[in-house]
Amino acid sequence: MSLDLPPGSRAFVDSNILIYHFTQHPLFSALCTPFLRRVVAGEITGFTSALVIADALHKVMLADVQSRFVQTKPLAFIQRHPALIASLATYHAACHDIGGMKLHVIPVEAPDFRQISGAAIAHNLLTNDASIIALMRRESLEHLVTNDDDFDDISGITPWKPR
């Protein structure tokens, strides 16, 4: 399913959509960036979590390191050369721009971890993906904008993918 959500939709935005937008991914940015523009314009109400944003920004940082300094093991490289973090323009732009995207950031509270654990068990998901399901259920969200196939068979969730 593409990213042609109906106007007025409420959708949870996964980290890969943000990553594709910020890193100008050759295959997926062409659909992710216009989708996020629809969120900024208020045509779609976008939701996410601080966990998702942190994951996206971490991966944008590593992609920035990889594109500028080293093709393999960017995490190990930046850990050995932390002063280079100041020069990561794509990463810093993403950190600045994320606030203007008008995404509603759903807080993760301590009691949510029971629901996250339940979602992990019920759907065989890792913690970050299980947190998406738990938060979507808490907020009564049906639409999930992602490029992750792990959500395909979850009842009550409609995945929208940039492909």
Q: What is the pLDDT of residues 14-68, one digit of tens each?
A: 999 999 999 999 999 999 999 999 999 999 999 999 999 999 999 999 999 999 9
Query: Parallel, antiparallel, or unpaired for β 143-145 and 158-160?
Result: parallel
Domain range annotation of the chain? 10-160
Half-sphere exposure of 146 toward its Cβ, with a 13 Å CA cutoff? 21
Say if CB 120 and CB 126 are below 8 A apart: yes
Given pLDDT bands bounded at 50, 70 and 90, which one contains residue 1? low
Q: What is the mean pLDDT of residues 63-78?
A: 95
Say if CB 62 and CB 25 are below 8 A apart: no
38, exposed or middle or buried, with CB in 10 Å at 0-12, 13-18, 19+? middle
Nearest to 53 by CA among 3, 114, 8, 100: 100
* Token reading at 50: 């601080």
Q: Cα dist. 34→22, 31, 65, 137, 140 in Å?
A: 12, 6, 26, 26, 25
CATH number for the region 10-160 comes to: 3.40.50.1010
pTM here is: 0.95
Q: Please check the confidence at residue 8 and state whether its pLDDT lies above 80.
A: yes
DSSP 99-123: GGG--EEEPPPTTHHHHHHHHHHHH
Q: Please check the confidence at residue 147 and state whether its pLDDT lies above 80.
A: yes
Instruction: Rounding to the nearest 10 degrees, give the CA dihedral for residues 28, 33, 34, 39.
Output: 130
Work out the mean pLDDT of the chain and round it to a whole number. Answer: 97
